[in-house]
A and B are shown apart, each in its own frame.
Chain A
Amino acid sequence: MSTDQLTGPDAEPTAPSPARPAGGRPGSRRAPRPHSLRARRAGAFYLFTGPWVLGFLGLTAYPLGYALWLSFTNSDGLSPNARFVGLANYREVFSDPDTLASLARTGLFAAITVPLTIVAGLILALLLNQPIRARGLFRTLLYLPAVVPPVGAALTFKLIFDRDSGSANGLLDLFGVNGLAWLGDPYARYVLIMLTVWGVGNIMIISLAGLQDIPRELLDAARVDGASQWQSLTRIILPLLSPVLFFQLVTQLIMTLQTFVPLLISLDPTPKGVGAVPESNYLIMIDVFSQYFANGRYGYASALLWVLFLFIMLVTFVVFRLSKGAVFYSVDPEQAKPKTRTIGDK
């Protein structure tokens, strides 16, 4: 049995294999390589990652590159007379008051909904981690909204909050209170926030999984030592849950900055429907969609997308930097390295 067969795929053998002499000169004939376990593993690795890499190149890298090229043109996607305009689209992104307003609106929306959904999900998870009766039923009920398709959820909200025939104003009517134009400015933003928080079940279920991973004995020991529930929460649960919360923060932030839900509430996810999105919900992705397919400004919309892409990268980088010291990993991710497997490993 050769050394190759006994070590892991990334391991460095301590001595050259007898079948492959060290220090071979260029052009010298190599001995045929045995069909090693390592080669088979490498083959399996490429076989399994291949489809993803192909998908990444074809469906992500190529469109990104194409959009980058488009962003330097005035193309409408259809006309043959498009020309190179240099950085004009990018200059317009940073000088167009509508775009800047939609970017600011998107930032504000993320600043409100991301913490709100994470905290709401955590509170629900903490509640449902208690030994209460019908816990399974409550978990199911609270998770259900998360599996409702966004279009269905948006339709429901639209029907509930319609000014003239919705049940929200019907309820106000019972108390003799004037109805509100929920789906118009300025109330539409609150409906959007409610819709976002309504689907908090996804976050809850991940937090719940994180909570259940916290060793029971730690909490028991804290209780024996006289720690209050609040102290257990802030000194044990939250630190141990922090990697899960951090994961949620990053993914929610990225998703929220790209949210397309306002167009679904308008219930006509077409270029025509963009006009029905009230200004308070006119987020950056709505602007991008509108620029592409209503205004036919493929070049400018591509520039907008690239700016958004870079903005998300920057925000994610900043969040990662700020999280240092606030997220507690049981294994230091920077120190952790795959361990070389040897015969003695169990």
Chain B
Amino acid sequence: MPVSSRGSLDRRRFLAASAGAAFTAAALPGCAASVDSDSDSGGSGKTLTVMTLVNEWDAKTQKSIEKLLDVKLRIVTYDVTKLNAMLASKNPPDVVRGIGATDAPYFAARGLMADLDPYLAKSKVLKPSDLAAANDVWRFDGKKQGAGPRYGLAKDYSQDSMFWYRTDMFEAAGLDLPSATEPLSMDEWLDLGKRLTKRRLGKVKVYGLNATSLGLFSQLMSWTASAGGTLFADDMASVDFSSPEALKALQWYVDYAKADIGPSITNPNPDGWDGPTYQANRMAMSCNGFWFGGVIGGDAKLAAVSRFAPAPQFGSHRVSPCFSGTGFWMPKEAKNKDAAWKLFEWYFADQPAKDRASSGWGLPSLNSLRSLIPRSSAFQKQAYQVQEQDTPYFSVLPVSPYAQVDALNGILSKVLPDAIKSDTKTGKIADALNSRMNEQLARGKELVG
């Protein structure tokens, strides 16, 4: 006789009850979100959830934020997979760290970001007129990036096509130093990279140049723009690598990768970024913006032999864009927006902003803080002067809202290595890129509308 009887918990009932409990638990976050969204959104000891880097604030700073904003701070370590899940369940963090240049159009077009303009209009410390132009990477007008409502703010920024170089390596190679005012042509840049590279038995001991520190797709956009063209069509729904300007940019990169003078799509940097390689005297030119001066400035010997230079150009259309503009944004479904805005005001206009501006790790996102950019040492003065001369050439290079830049970079990684190794004609590479990327963009356009 089985154990079960009507009066006891049999296996079927047990499983049914468990299923009910499990599905209820799975559905609860959604219910909680809808309940909380109607409640008071001010500080008042409520929990403010911030998705950011694990080391964004130390314990002491977190305490002071909690006291200042009258909130309980909950830090969720930044993880794009977790963010997507939280956004999809309509239970997002109140504040999210993000990269304006690449994140803003994608999330804004999907209606996931809160418009900050009403908050800016009321704010006494953050004024739209005081925002540096780089904050425009966080704007999206429904079709294009760079105009329309602001969906986030940059904590700092750099013009990421500029580059740093080692004077000692130039001198050892008997080469003239690049001009601090006139940009190098792309061909000159490549030639210098070749001359500065040192090899031994199939290995590169000293890289002459890393030309793409912050992602290849963004850099190709910049080079195409400097040649006078554009990668995206006006409606942002397709790319065209077959235009003469884009082909020029693509050919340059193929030549660079074939020359094997620095980290590339066929030989990625094992460190993932240039800092360690540059510090270890293994890189002569590093394409990184002003922020990289923070790395260099920490080592007096390295600073003494390092200089900053304007963004190299293809043609007369001088551009010097920002590929990042890292900062914070507020999800549309955030439950505690007023407290989140208080955090914005503190973080972007108060002492943290001043500390960042004076650290040299990037340019301040408020024009009023520009005077704090360090310029006491010769190294800092030179970097500041070069930066000031390149500032007018800043422009937002809009990316499509229909695909994440990671997806476009992924396509470059799939197509280029084989093409570079097999000497495929650039026109054919362009066709392959157009085909794959436009397919990806079409899928996104269908979803976004």
Contact = CB atoms under 8 A, between A and B. Distances in A.
Contacts of A39: 3, 8
Nearest to A181: B267
Contacts of B32: none
B410 A295 contact: yes
Contact of A62 (B23, B404, B448): B23
Interface residues of B, number: 58
A39 B2 CA distance: 11
A165 B207 CA distance: 11
Interface residues of A, number: 66
B410 A164 contact: no
A46 B440 contact: no
Contacts of B18: 50, 53-54, 57
B406 A294 contact: yes
A296 B447 CA distance: 11
A302 interface: no
Given A62-B26, A78-B112, A275-B410, A164 B205 contact: yes
Given A62-B26, A74-B447, A46 B410 contact: no
Contacts of A278: 417
Contact of B19 (A55, A57, A76, A172): A57
Contacts of A95: none
Interface of A: 9, 12-13, 30, 33, 38-39, 42-43, 46, 50, 53-55, 57-58, 61-62, 74-82, 98, 158-159, 162-166, 169, 172-173, 176-181, 183-185, 266-268, 270-272, 274-279, 290, 292-297
Contacts of B110: 78-80
Nearest to B205: A164
Given A12-B1, A78-B112, A179-B203, A293 B417 contact: no
Interface in B317-355: none
Contacts, number: 156
Contacts of B266: 181, 184
Contacts of A163: 202-204, 267
Contacts of B87: 77-78
Nearest to B436: A98
B298 interface: no
A266 B268 CA distance: 9
B300 interface: no
Given A77-B87, A272-B409, 11 more contacts: A58-B26, A77-B84, A78-B107, A164-B282, A165-B270, A166-B270, A173-B201, A270-B406, A275-B412, A290-B410, A294-B404
A326 B30 CA distance: 51
Interface in B396-448: 403-404, 406-407, 409-410, 412-414, 417-418, 440, 443-444, 446-448
B270 A158 contact: yes
A55 B18 CA distance: 9
Nearest to B3: A42
B1 to A, nearest CB: 6
A101 to B, nearest CB: 11
B413 A42 contact: no
A155 to B, nearest CB: 10
Quick one: which of A74, A173, A278, A295 has the most chain B CB within 10 A? A295
A276 B268 contact: yes
Nearest to A274: B410
Nearest to A267: B272
B393 interface: no
Contacts of A42: 3, 8-9
A173 B202 CA distance: 9
Interface string B17-33: 01101110110000000
B378 interface: no
Contacts of B272: 267-268
A82 B444 CA distance: 10
